[in-house]
Structure formats: C-alpha cells, structure tokens
Structure 1
Amino acid sequence: MNYKDSGVDIDKGNKFVESIKRLSKNLPDQGFVSKIGAFSSLFSLSHFGSDIYIASTTDGVGTKLKIAFAVNKHDSVGIDLVAMNVNDIITTGIMPAFFLDYIAYSDLSNNVLENVFKGIAEGLRQANCAIAGGETAQMPSMYNKGEYDLAGFCVGIGKKDDLFEGNVKEGDCLIGIASSGFHSNGYSLIRKAFFEIAKYKLDTIVSNKTLGEILLTPTIIYVTSVKPIKQYIKAAAHITGGGFIENIPRCLEGLGCEIDTKTIKTQEEFLLVSDIAKLSKEEMYRTFNMGVGFVLVVDEKDRDIVLDKLHSNNINSYLIGNVVKEVGVCLK
C-alpha cells in the first residue's frame, strides 16, 4: 500500500505546482525574492524605497478534520491551522506578524465555531502572532451537517538581516526538532490504515491513550524554538505533506542530504501505521514526519551550540544527518 492508494497522489500535486509555475510566468513578479514552491513566499519592498521583507503563506488542516468531527472535539484543529502556517513562515527566518482564518460550513452550532476559534487563539498565543481578521462562510448544501473546512493565511514582516543566510554547503549538519506525532499530514492514509484495514475504533488504546486522543494531538508550533538560535541557522524545512523526501530538499539549494534514520525517535503510532498498511521505509518517509517536525541546516562548527541551546530550553532535538552533493534524500 502507499499514500496514493488512500486517495492522495503526491506526484499529481507536484505536477500541478509545475502547471501553476507555467501559467503564472507572465504575471507581475517585481519584488518577489522566492519562487513558487517555497514553504513561504518572500516579497521585498525595495522598489517602494523600503528595506522591509514580507513573508506570506496559506494552508489548511486537511482530513484530520474528519477525526475532529467524529470525536466532537474542535479546539485542537484550530492550533493545527495556525501551526501549519506559522511554521512555514519561520523557514525564512522572519517571525509571523498576523494571521487570518477562513471557516466554511453548512450547518454548525455556535459552540463548534467558538471552540475552533479557541484553538486558533491558543495557537496565535504560542506563536506571538496577531489576528487580523478572517471570513466565516455559511454555504447551505456545500458541506455535511456538523462538518466544516478551515484555511489559514499568515504574514510575517522583517528585514534582510532577519532572513536565514542560506549558502548551504556540503558537510552542513541537519538538526531535527521532534514532532508531537502525526501533526496534520497523512491523515487520509492514517484513517484508511486504522479504520478500514485494522478496524480500530477511536477509543482503541494505543500507547496508553485512545486513538482519538493520539490523532487529535495538535501540531507543535516551532516559533519559540527557532527564535533564540536564528543567528546559527542557514536554512530550515517544515516537515509536512511529502515527509522528508519532498520537504528537506526544498531548502538545500540544489544539494542533497543523507539521513541517519537510526537517530530518529519515531513514535509508536507511526510504526503501527507502517505495520498495518505494509508501507515501505521510503513511503513512510515520503508521507510522514516520522517524529521530526522541523529541520534546521547549520554549519558543522555551530552544531553543538545549537543543540545545547535547544536542550537548555527543553526542546527535544538531535543530529539527524548531513548535506551532500548528490541531489535527493538518502535514507540510511
């Protein structure tokens, strides 16, 4: 089995991104520092006579919402919504400034909407990010009763000195910061494995928790982890849909990396999905974060400084690999 068997075609999504690049090539692009496909866009205001850079991103929570509907717990997905956006913003080195949300539904109680926003507010508190506004759209017959969709939009504001320096080179170190579990990716495959193949229920006990509790564990927000060590970071990757294979190369500037998978502290629930769905190692690392939600690229001479600072702040992190010349991700 693979991710495509659960209805998600990563290759098709990548082809669509290439189509977007082609179809948008004649649109205005003055001021853009980044290209389509980066974790976050970067826009320079230099042609307006300013040294300000604006980072922006948009993302949602995906089919993890199906678990929230089934458990009738809606606050944690609000945290996920913020996390998926602010974690993309900070891959640039710029910190998030403000956020907007979009909630679409057909028929919901006010209590559900309020709980969703309680989660959004908690996520924004963790990210030290303001709410600028949003949109709540009731669309009769568009969604099933009791269901909704979420989208978020985030903007970060900084200066050139705030940006990660780049200049990634062979021999640089990759430091992984632990995830809290599945975060908000791979849930189409997760639901197929647990509920269709294994016939588990949401109250099935896994690692001393119900499966529902595990699946609704919110995504970690990495803003406070990254901020104190910004000066040592060359580049960063948020490990979301596409796992290690798709995400880490996006920050390596045409180089590749070797990952020592033996160093990664993978939670039991990942191994359980792998066993149930009979997934290959490569498919697991192309779908899930495998216990690492954020990856930093640092110079070898700064490796121990960064790890010491992270550990002193009780942030679970460790060396997971190195940058190499060969393009791609080599799993060892």
Structure 2
Amino acid sequence: MTTYKQAGVDKEEGYQTVQKIKDAVASTHNVNVMNGIGSFGAFYRLQDYKKPVLVSGTDGVGTKLRIALDVKKYDTVGIDCFAMCANDILCHGAKPLFFLDYLACGKLDSEIAAEIVSGIVDACKETGTALIGGETAEMPGMYTIGDYDVAGFCVGAVEEDDIIDGSKIKEGDVILGLESSGFHSNGYSLIRKVFTDYNEEFEGKPIYEALLKPTRLYQNIIDSILEKTPINGIAHITGGGLIENVPRILPDGLSAHIDTTKINVPTIIQELQKRSGIAMEELYGTFNMGVGMVIVVAPENVAKAKDAINESLMELGTIKKDNNPIILKW
C-alpha cells in the first residue's frame, strides 16, 4: 500500500520541526497572546489603544534565498522575511504586534526549518513582536528537494490620529536617509548574474557573507525619532530603489530632489557597480544604494531627528514643487 511518506511527505519530520521551534516561538509571546502552537488560529488581544488602526503587510525573501540555499546558510533569511514586512508597515507609523510565517519546500528537513525560523524569532524579539503562527508545507513535485521558499505576514497597529501617510509633506521639507546594511532583499536576480562565485574573497571573507547580510530593522530607530519630533513621511526603499519608492509618499505636485553624492554607498554595492557597469539610473531604480529608509521632516525638526538616534542621518535633499516626482543629482 502506498503511504503519504512514500508519496514524499514525511509527517514525522513536520512534528520534529514543531518540537524544535516551539520554545523559541514561545519566547516571543507576551501577555496579549492568548494561545500557543497547535490551534487552528492564533489569538492576539488588542489593548492599550484608544482608536487603533490595524496595518498589515506581507512579503518574502525573493531570490536571495538561492544564495542561502547554495551555501547552506539559513540563519539570516528569516530576519529578511520579517524585516521586509515590518519595515513596510512602519512606514505608516505602525508598531508590529504579531507575525506569521510560511515555509514551503520539496522535502522537509527539520534542522533547516528550525534554523530559518530562528532568524524570524531573533527579529521578532528585537522589535517586541509575537510570532503567533505559521505554516510549513512539504510539497514534493512542486519544489526541488533542498529548495525552500519563505514568506511572512505582519500585523501592526497605530492610533488613527498618528497615521503617517505622507499627506503632511510640504514644500521645503527635508529628506533624510537611514543607512541600509547592504542589498537587503531586493535585486538578487540581477545580483546573482554579477556575483557567481559565492565563495570568492571579498574584504577578507567569502563574498556570500556580504550578499546574505540581513535586511536592517528600523523599528527602534523610527520609534526613537518619533519620541522627539513628528515625521511627515516614511518610505521603505525596497525593489525599485529610491526612484520608485520615494514618490509613493508624496502629495501631487511635490517632488523629492535628492543629491546622491550624500549617500554612503556600501562597498558591496560599489563592487557590483564596478563589475557590472550598470547605468546609474538602473542602479537607483533597482537597489537601495545604501539608503534603507527615507524619512521626511519639517526643516525645523531636522536637528531633533538627528539628535534622537546614535547614528548619522544622511541629509539627502528637499521637497520642492515639481511635476516630476523625483529628481536625482548624480
């Protein structure tokens, strides 16, 4: 008789995965989490808000996973998955409350799955977010053995009166940039065309370490700034780079004038530019180029924003009246 295991799905490996991650997952829970792993749905009590608005986001890691799978380094991609979702909802001033993950593969290895989830747990702990659920799907015939895909779903909340949506941005406001940690999780289909030997040396280490450096989390930094001064707009610089993401937060008739010489471009991105010869417009329309998040503040609040955090804020430019939503100076 043919069994489910003979068909390619090992339920026991799934049970082992749960056993290996349950304590780590539970360590992210707080008083608002009302149940543990095993229920059909996860319960989260919403409290301490007067007029709460839920803000949600979902994303994956993309083809950055290919590098992680090829070099068998799985501990950072969970951070990427969480960060891509949490940084998006942060653009509206939302604090992440809980997160759910989705892991799909051709043949489940509980050790690999647990390592991926450990990265999500680390990111959740850094931001005070509860990992309250997830799904591990073993799908033989859909995925090649050894391949994994990772996606996630984040829900946060913000007081209705505190929503940041860019509507308060006005002419004369200042554009500030927060440094990225590298490529983050975008542009890897192109990156993998340029860097083909992941074990070659770069700055004294295998280059895959620079390529797999996880997406930076900005929650605590933005919270610190908001404690000192209002922010009129926030843009997460993901796929499409500055060129596509900054205009998303601008009211009609306003333009972001950015001086790219003010950007601290990471060395790994400089290396890609040197090897590939990709045109500047293509670079700034594909990669973050060293700016992981953009915030827009009134000119009188620039000093307060800079003083609120223990790192440099790049002063990139200003908001002007213009029908072209973004103008970059090379």
Q: Partners of 1:171 and 1:256 in 2: how far apart? A: 10
Q: Partners of 1:209 and 1:306 in 2: how far apart? A: 35
Aligned residues: 275
| 1:80-99 mapped onto 2 (5 Å cutoff) | 80-99=80-99
| 1:1-332 mapped onto 2 (5 Å cutoff) | 51-164=51-164, 166-195=167-196, 201-230=197-226, 231-254=229-252, 255-310=254-309, 314-326=310-322, 327-332=324-329
1:103 partner amino acid: L
Query: Which residue is equivalent to 2:3?
Result: none
Whether contact under 8 Å (2:57, 2:154) holds in the other structure is yes
Please state how far the C-alpha of 1:158 moved relative to its aligned partner: 2.4
Please state how far the C-alpha of 1:328 moved relative to its aligned partner: 2.1
Please state how far the C-alpha of 1:115 moved relative to its aligned partner: 0.0
Aligned with 1:156: secondary structure? strand
1:84 partner amino acid: M
Please state how far the C-alpha of 1:128 moved relative to its aligned partner: 1.2
Post-superposition Cα deviations, 1:174-229, rounded to whole Å, max 9, x if no partner, equal: 1100010000011000000111xxxxx21212223321100110011000000022
Q: Partners of 1:58 and 1:250 in 2: how far apart? A: 18
Post-superposition Cα deviations, 1:134-191, rounded to whole Å, max 9, x if no partner, equal: 1111111111111111111011122113322731111111110001000001100000
Out of 152-161 and 95-104, give the one that drifted further: 152-161
Which structure 2 segments of 5+ residues have no match?
A: 1-49
Q: Partners of 1:304 and 1:181 in 2: how far apart? A: 26
Q: Partners of 1:315 and 1:148 in 2: how far apart? A: 36
Please state how far the C-alpha of 1:325 moved relative to its aligned partner: 1.5
Q: Partners of 1:246 and 1:207 in 2: how far apart? A: 31
Structure with higher Rg: it is: 2
Whether contact under 8 Å (1:207, 1:268) holds in the other structure is no
Whether contact under 8 Å (1:225, 1:315) holds in the other structure is no
Whether contact under 8 Å (1:79, 1:123) holds in the other structure is yes
Q: Partners of 1:194 and 1:73 in 2: how far apart? A: 17
Post-superposition Cα deviations, 1:270-308, rounded to whole Å, max 9, x if no partner, equal: 122122222111111000010110100100110111012
2:259 partner amino acid: D
Runs of 4+ that moved beyond 3 A? none
More helix by share: 1
Q: Partners of 2:108 and 2:72 in 1: how far apart? A: 12
Q: Partners of 1:149 and 1:110 in 2: how far apart? A: 14
Q: Partners of 1:212 and 1:157 in 2: how far apart? A: 36
Q: Partners of 1:209 and 1:298 in 2: how far apart? A: 39
Please state how far the C-alpha of 1:243 moved relative to its aligned partner: 0.3
Q: Partners of 1:264 and 1:328 in 2: how far apart? A: 19
Please state how far the C-alpha of 1:51 moved relative to its aligned partner: 2.5
Q: Partners of 1:194 and 1:329 in 2: how far apart? A: 30
2:214 partner amino acid: P
Q: Partners of 1:162 and 1:267 in 2: how far apart? A: 33
Q: Structure 1 residues 159 and 273 mapped into 2: Cα distance closer, same or farther (>3 Å)?
A: same
Whether contact under 8 Å (1:108, 1:147) holds in the other structure is no
Q: Partners of 2:133 and 2:108 in 1: how far apart? A: 20
Q: Partners of 2:307 and 2:82 in 1: how far apart? A: 28
- Percent identity between matched residues is 44
Q: Partners of 1:62 and 1:316 in 2: how far apart? A: 29
TM-score by length of 2: 0.81
Please state how far the C-alpha of 1:108 moved relative to its aligned partner: 3.0
